[in-house]
Structure 1
Amino acid sequence: MAIATTPADLLASVVRRDAAVPLITSYDDATGERVELSGATLANWVAKTANLLQDEFDVGPSSTVAVVLPVHWQTAAVLLATWSCGAAVRDTATEDEGGLSGIDLVLAAQDRLAALEEEIGDTDLLGLSLHPLGGGMAGYTGPARDFAIEVRAAGDRFVPYSPPDPATPGLVTGALELTLGGLVEAAGELAARLGIVPGDRILLDEATAAEAGPVAWLLAPLSAGASILLSRNTSPERLVARAAEERVTATLGCRVPGVRELGRPA
């Protein structure tokens, strides 16, 4: 089996192992939505997004892409697509939008666009509605291009112009900087430290996931062969039933009686 050296390799490993098994399930208790993506479906979103970034915005190994998005299944696709292009991610999930100098492209949630439009000047801007079915931005009239509309026309198979180099920058968030290879190493180390095992189905609270960053909520589970259940705007009274229905085996950032909490002694 090939050794994963970049985040794109982690996703490829998941798809090779079992493309049909649910990989990311996302709940939002504020809207009542539930979205489930298999490894194959997520890989398709990643490929289309990567083609869009590479072909329309020239994103590649020398690029830095700002991701102004909450923890969400579409954010997972954007992050993995950026890394598939060999580019670096500036993660702003726990930061203000300030300090976006040196950015080649910004992908932002629709409700963050107004604050960004003046600040980023001529930098390309893509807006995401975060609609549960991937729909476009309703009622938006600003300069940002609509991710949902743009990505539909992108190809389903992605081949980078330059293969991602594990030694190039992969993530900049606050004072933390990691290479693409460093992201994979950090994911493996964190998965081991938290006690994530193959086949785990991990329930992650949105607030904890945002604070911990994408290595914790996305790459560590992928590295360990686990699946992810994201819970946004979590309703505490629904957690026990949801954990049972979704066959959750571990949690991060929330407690469910009878389910092990990652990072805590048994």
Structure 2
Amino acid sequence: MSTEESTAAGALAAALRADPNRPLLTYYDESLGERTELSAVTLDNWVAKTANMLVDGAGLGPDDTAGVLLPAHWQTAAVLLGCFAAGVPVRTVPEADAAPVDVAFGTPGRLAELRDLRPAETYLLGLRPMAAPLAEVPPGAADFVVEVRQYGDRFVPAPVDPDAPALLGPAPVSQAELMARARRHAGESGLLPGGRLLVPVDGEPDPMAWLLAPLAIGASVVLCRNADEARIDAIAAAERTTSRT
């Protein structure tokens, strides 16, 4: 199996080679009047900054862990893919008696849950339009968008073992298995290479559906929050989406 098939970083690299300027992830929040579009190269820059922050800033690697308690959002994509690129396994669901994580990412509203992960470092994401910083940062935490901007937008990783854990939990999932599941999910949902997937995100969809499945097969995604059905239909037409979750 090739690296592109067996790691998330490989899938993003394939998207870059195919067309670096093609819209890869578009995010709407109708309550804020926000539309943010990331090409493959723009998303890759955010992913690289995140991975550099983890590796060069925090000194983390495959023997460390990250807690990620975030909703579907373009910044969440940068965090998750940055962790996978750096080879840092991710815990997305707090577990009783789990070992402390080395770094945690979440929203201010989930600060208590983040503290339950007992991280050495905590980064908060306000998920504001234009990646605006938080108005106030609680003690013991840092603002992700402020900190990550200090790092380079190119990441040169050590080789990531496809058989190393990507997601932690009762049954850890390797990078290779994660991407295999993503391809299966895409096939089962009817998403095709080059397609454009619309995902309403008023709930909290699994990253498998809104991020990894499209990435694994060379599709793109439109995330849409706080929109009624009429507006979702209008966005689907404007963005020329081909399928919907």
- Band the TM-score falls in, shorter-chain normalisation: over 0.9
Give the counterpart of 1:166 among 158, 162, 166. 162
Match of 2:222 in 1: 229
Q: Distance in 1 between matches of 2:105 and 2:200?
A: 23
Q: Secondary structure of 1:35's partner?
A: strand
Q: Which runs of 5+ in 1 are unaligned?
A: 253-266
Q: Distance in 1 between matches of 2:69 and 2:28?
A: 20
Q: Distance in 1 between matches of 2:243 and 2:114?
A: 40
Q: What does residue range 130-141 of structure 1 map to in structure 2 within 5 Å? A: 130-141=127-138
Q: Distance in 2 between matches of 1:24 and 1:156?
A: 18
Change in Cα spacing, 1:118 to 1:218, as seen in structure 2 (3 Å) is closer
Count how many residue pairs are aligned between Structure 1 and Structure 2: 244
Match of 1:257 in 2: none
Matching residue's letter, 1:229: V
Question: TM-score, normalised on structure 2?
Answer: 0.92
Deviations 1:128-152, CA, capped at 9 Å, x for gaps? 1111211211122421011111111
Match of 2:6 in 1: 5
Structure 1 residue 116, shift from structure 2 partner? 4.0
Structure 1 residue 196, shift from structure 2 partner? 1.1
- Are the counterparts in 2 of residues 25 and 230 from structure 1 also a CA contact under 8 Å? yes
- Are the counterparts in 1 of residues 67 and 104 from structure 2 also a CA contact under 8 Å? yes
Q: Distance in 2 between matches of 1:146 and 1:75?
A: 14
Pairing 1:249–2:242 present: yes
- Are the counterparts in 2 of residues 167 and 179 from structure 1 also a CA contact under 8 Å? yes
Q: Distance in 2 between matches of 1:222 and 1:118?
A: 31
- Are the counterparts in 1 of residues 65 and 90 from structure 2 also a CA contact under 8 Å? yes
Q: Secondary structure of 1:60's partner?
A: coil
**Alignment RMSD:** 2.0
Change in Cα spacing, 1:26 to 1:86, as seen in structure 2 (3 Å) is same
Deviations 1:25-54, CA, capped at 9 Å, x for gaps? 001122121100000000000001110111
- Are the counterparts in 2 of residues 85 and 163 from structure 1 also a CA contact under 8 Å? no
Q: Distance in 2 between matches of 1:103 and 1:58?
A: 14
Give the counterpart of 1:191 among 186, 193, 205. 186
Question: TM-score, normalised on structure 1?
Answer: 0.85
Structure 1 residue 172, shift from structure 2 partner? 2.5
Deviations 1:30-83, CA, capped at 9 Å, x for gaps? 212110000000000000111011112122111211001111000001000000
Structure 1 residue 19, shift from structure 2 partner? 0.6
What percent of counterpart residues are identical?
42
